[in-house]
Amino acid sequence: MYAKVIVDISNNELDRIFDYDVGELSLSAGDRVMVPFGQRRIEGYVIELNENSSCPPDKIKSVYSKLDDYPVITPEMLALMNFMIGNYHLRIIDVLRLFIPAQMRGGKVKALSRKFVYANPDAFGLIKPSAKMQLDAYNYVLAKGEVALSELNANCSAASVRNLIMRDILRVRDGEIMRTPYKNLEFSDNSVELTEAQSHAVSTVMNAKDKTFLLHGVTGSGKTEVYMHCIAAALALNKTAIMLVPEISLTPQIMAGFRARFGSKVALLHSGLSAGERFDEWRRLITGEASVAVGARSAIFAPLKNVGIIIIDEEHDGSYTSESNPRYVTSEVAEFRRKFNGCNLILGSATPSIESYYKAKNGEYELIELPERINKRPLPDIFVVNMIDEVYRGNNGVFSARLEAELHNCIEAGNQAMIFINRRGYSSYLMCRSCGYVAKCEQCDVSLVYHKEEDSLKCHYCGNRYKALTVCPNCGSEHIKRGYMGTETVAEALKQMFPGETVLRMDNDTTQGKDAHFEILRKFAEKKAKILVGTQMIAKGHDFPDVTLVGIVDADMSLHFADYRATERTYQLITQVAGRAGRNDKPGVVVLQTYSPNHYVYKYAVSGDYKKFFEKECNLREVTKFPPFTRIVRLLVSGENEIEVASVLKNVFERIKTLSDGDKRFVFLSYMWSPLKLIKNKRRAQVLMRVTPDYDRLPEIYAIADEYISGKVSIFVEVNPNNLS
């Protein structure tokens, strides 16, 4: 019998099956094994067992050993592996590495072994009634059945314990304890009675089979409760559940809520876990001890069997697309697992992605709506402030008069405020401060990106180049500014305005430590500060009852991002941040500052009319030929040597051009240096393609890419990438 093994080395040449003789070992597909490889010993994964091998028998070596008691890759995950390789053109080993905790590989983490103490049942009479401390220790053990020696020593006289063990009255065995993340979370199960809309949502899902639902529920409509009921229903049928939330909304609140409802059945998978915790949570899932996996993107690979429901909360969130190798789209992996298990999948959001809503309209997904907040609480009022008027009035500060006044009202009333700065990525645009004009590409209708080194404006889709603005073509003003403002600037301004108040700041710089972002949120939740300033990180999921004011300092920041999804993202962000206000009995106010007050995105965000926004946006996408009406394919070439990268780029481009010639499904093609031309010493260049949704020659493009990959130049192909930088 031969084991077909993938060795744990990430290298294109070695990313193929090697045959090994199984020998006397009893192996199954999915086992992790140790094998000889050249002069080395290396870990690998058995992906198949077969009687045949095309290798000459004298070349075949034998598997050394099996590393675990059970196959670490389940049959479902082996099937998923094939799906991902075919769909995303990934290395086999890179996919397999997604399926098990990184620290498990190479034996870097091990089960935590401990000594456990239990009572010898026949020995009670051997303790003298006068030996109080020995009796205490014995009773402590009896009450618990079994207890870790360390715990026993901490609670009773260690000398007495030692004495009892010596006399075989207490016995010791070697055991293992599981490291449980967030053990000290305080939680209470505040079960609620479902509203009519919620129970309708739950029963719709429960009565369906093998379906994908889009749960469109406004902020505060109680989507979490719907998820929990669907999970409970799956557990009642002896099935398992996977629930994904964006990393940054994986707050203590959410985790405590799940712990409270499902107890030790929940395994939490979070990037903040220690290696040991992650390993143990994963093992609890694969052994069936835990049956609900809650976590960020990578939890979609939870090693659960018999999955009864999969949930992706905030489905529109960008973090569900992996942007570095191995690249994959979480919802597509979820679809695979849904089909494999014949279960339902719920995609939930207050602001679904245009692509998902489009699918719901086409019947590919079934739409479920929660149109009202719990207890019919109103959505907050959004006031749009035209910052151009402020400039005319001589206010060049961060805050408009309106936002400043609302801040004073809020703080003086003892409430809390969240101030949101939308700042993502590298991108900066040029804008006229007098009329709000922003330069756009004439061909693509996306904002142009300012390239400082060349002092020019560029379209990141077609590569067209324009002169940088010095005078506004719209109004003739010379008041041109570069869009850019940071959280620090804003926090400083707030401290000056409210000298006595603590201002918390949450952004990439302040959340580096393991629990840093929990700490900031906890302080805010405990009302240790009245003002929280932050980026995207504060936009999601949080439920702070005393927040009555949300300020959006520069809403345009994402609007003028050079991306066809800029408007969609802006709508989502505004709705999400606005949704933080007025979640309890106190009504909320949102002040939104913009230089483009007439942009349609603000009109629909203010009225909260997602459907109208969708119609408008969808029409635009159709006209400008962007997804969902096309797919964008980017082929990214990178390497240290500029000339080599350029020549590969040119060659690949010519090959694809030949391939696309006369193919009507090819809508657009261009090539250029990437907006971020240099990252970590690597030059980056890209071929951009727009193809129709039914285009099926991607494998040929992958094959072209493969031909040019070398030790010096790497190439990745991405479909609908989140980020074109």
Residues 404-426: b if buried by 16+ CB within 10 A, e if exposed: bebbeebbeeebbbbbbbbbeee
**Partner from Zn ion, ligand ADP, none contacting 217, C-beta within 5 to 8 A by type:** ligand ADP
Q: Is 55 in the site for ligand ADP (CB under 6 A)?
A: no
104 binds, among Zn ion, ligand ADP, none (CB under 5 to 8 A by kind): none
* Residue 131 structure tokens: 């030996």
Helical segments of 102-180, H only? 132-144, 149-155, 158-166
Q: Which helix (H) or strand (E) holds 238?
A: none
Given Zn ion, ligand ADP, none, residue 453, with its beta carbon under 5 to 8 Å by kind, binds none
Q: Is 198 in the site for ligand ADP (CB under 6 A)?
A: yes
- CB-count exposure of residue 191 (10 Å: 0-12, 13-18, 19+): exposed
Residues with Cβ < 8 Å from 478, sequence gap 6 or more? 470, 471, 472
For 468, the token pair is 């940088």
| Residues contacting 616, CB < 8 A, separation 6+ | 600, 604
- Contact flag: residue 224 with ligand ADP (CB under 6 A): yes
The tokens for 209 are: 């089979």
Task: Single out the residue of 316, 269, 262 nearest to residue 296, CA to CA.
Answer: 269
Which region among 38-46, 278-286, 355-363, 425-433 touches Zn ion (by CB under 5 A)? 425-433
Q: How far is CA 252 from the centre of its chain?
A: 16
Decide: is 432 part of the binding site for Zn ion (CB under 5 A). yes
Q: Is 195 one of the binding residues for ligand ADP (CB under 6 A)?
A: yes
CA angle centred on 260, ends 254 and 266, rounded to 5°: 75
Beta bridge partners of 592: 384, 552
In what side-by-side order are the strands of the sheet with 465-467?
449-451, 456-458, 465-467
Q: Which is nearer to ligand ADP, 224 or 341 (CB)?
A: 224
Residue 475 or 679 with smaller CB distance to Zn ion = 475
Which residues, in sequence order, are bridge partners of residue 312?
A: 244, 347
As a whole number of angstroms, the distance between CA 572 and CA 601 comes to 10
Touching ligand ADP, residues 365-394 (CB under 6 A): 374
| 474 interacts with Zn ion by CB under 5 A | yes
Query: Contact region for ligand ADP (CB under 6 A) — 71-79, 218-226, 587-595, 600-608?
Result: 218-226
Binding partner of residue 459 among Zn ion, ligand ADP, none, CB under 5 to 8 Å per kind?
Zn ion
Taking the least distance from each CB to ligand ADP, the nearer of 217 and 628 is: 217
Out of 53, 134, 212, 219, point to the residue binding ligand ADP (CB under 6 A).
219
Which among 279, 250, 330, 542 is positioned nearest to 416, based on CA atoms? 542
Q: Is residue 89 close enough to count as binding ligand ADP by CB under 6 A?
A: no
Sign, CA torsion 642/643/648/651 = positive
Interface with Zn ion (CB under 5 A), residue from 368, 472, 557, 566: 472
Nearest CA among 259, 244, 238, 255 for reference residue 305: 238
User: Is residue 222 near ligand ADP by the rule CB under 6 A?
Assistant: yes
Strand partners, 42: 35
Distance CA 480, CA 614 (A): 32
Examine residue 444 and tell whether it contacts Zn ion (CB under 5 A): yes
What is the nearest approach in angstroms of Zn ion to the Cβ of residue 647? 25
Q: Which does 337 bind (CB under 5 to 8 A by kind): ligand ADP, Zn ion, none?
A: none
623 binds, among Zn ion, ligand ADP, none (CB under 5 to 8 A by kind): none
Nearer to ligand ADP, 352 or 436 (CB): 352
Q: Is residue 582 a contact point for ligand ADP (CB under 6 A)?
A: no
| Candidate residues 65, 191, 274, 443; the one interacting with Zn ion per rule CB under 5 A | 443
Per the CB < 8 A criterion, the answer to whether 397 and 493 are in contact is yes
435 near Zn ion, rule: CB under 5 A: yes
Residues 476-535 that bind Zn ion (CB under 5 A): 477
Instruction: Compute the distance between CA of residue 202 and CA of residue 368 in angstroms, rounded to an integer.
Output: 10
Number of residues that bind Zn ion (CB under 5 A): 15
User: Least distance (Å) from ligand ADP to the CB of residue 285?
Assistant: 25
Strands 18-21 and 2-7: antiparallel
Q: Choosing among Zn ion, ligand ADP, none, which partner's interface includes residue 219 (Cβ < 5 to 8 Å by kind)?
A: ligand ADP
Our CB check for ligand ADP shows the closer of 219 and 434 to be 219
Between 464 and 584, name the residue whose CB sits nearer to Zn ion: 464
Of 460, 481, 476, 651, residue with least CA distance to 565:
460
HEC per residue, 363-405: CCCEEEEECCCHHHCCCCEEEEEEHHHHHHCCCCCCCCHHHHH
**Polymer length of the chain:** 725
Q: Find the part of the chain contacting ligand ADP (CB under 6 A) among 186-194, 203-211, 477-485, 642-650.
A: 186-194
Rule CB under 6 A: say whether 220 interacts with ligand ADP: yes
Picked from Zn ion, ligand ADP, none, the partner binding residue 432 (CB below 5 to 8 A depending on kind) is: Zn ion
Nearest-angstrom CA–CA distance, 111 and 377? 49
355 scored as a contact of ligand ADP (CB under 6 A) = no
Q: Strand 416-420 relative to strand 547-552: parallel, antiparallel, unpaired?
A: parallel
Site track for ligand ADP across 135-174, x = CB under 6 A: ----------------------------------------
Least distance in Å: CB of 472 to Zn ion? Answer: 3
Q: Which does 462 bind (CB under 5 to 8 A by kind): Zn ion, ligand ADP, none?
A: Zn ion
Binding window for Zn ion (CB under 5 A); candidates: 158-166, 335-343, 433-441, 613-621: 433-441
Q: Do the Cβ atoms of 514 and 270 come closer than 8 Å? A: no
- Nearest approach in angstroms of CB 461 to Zn ion is 5
Would you count residue 289 as binding ligand ADP (CB under 6 A)?
A: no
Nearer to Zn ion, 458 or 683 (CB): 458
**232 forms part of the interface with ligand ADP (CB under 6 A):** no
Taking the complex as a whole, how short is the minimal distance between the CB of residue 263 and Zn ion, in angstroms? 54
Looking at 19-27, 94-102, 206-214, 441-449, which segment touches Zn ion (CB under 5 A)? 441-449
| CB closer to ligand ADP out of 66 and 229 | 229
In Å, how far are 63, 394, 482, 591, 596 from 391, measured between CA atoms? 74, 5, 15, 17, 13
What is the binding site for ligand ADP (CB under 6 A)? 192-195, 198, 217, 219-225, 374, 543
What is the binding site for Zn ion (CB under 5 A)? 432, 434-435, 437, 441, 443-444, 459, 461-462, 464, 472, 474-475, 477
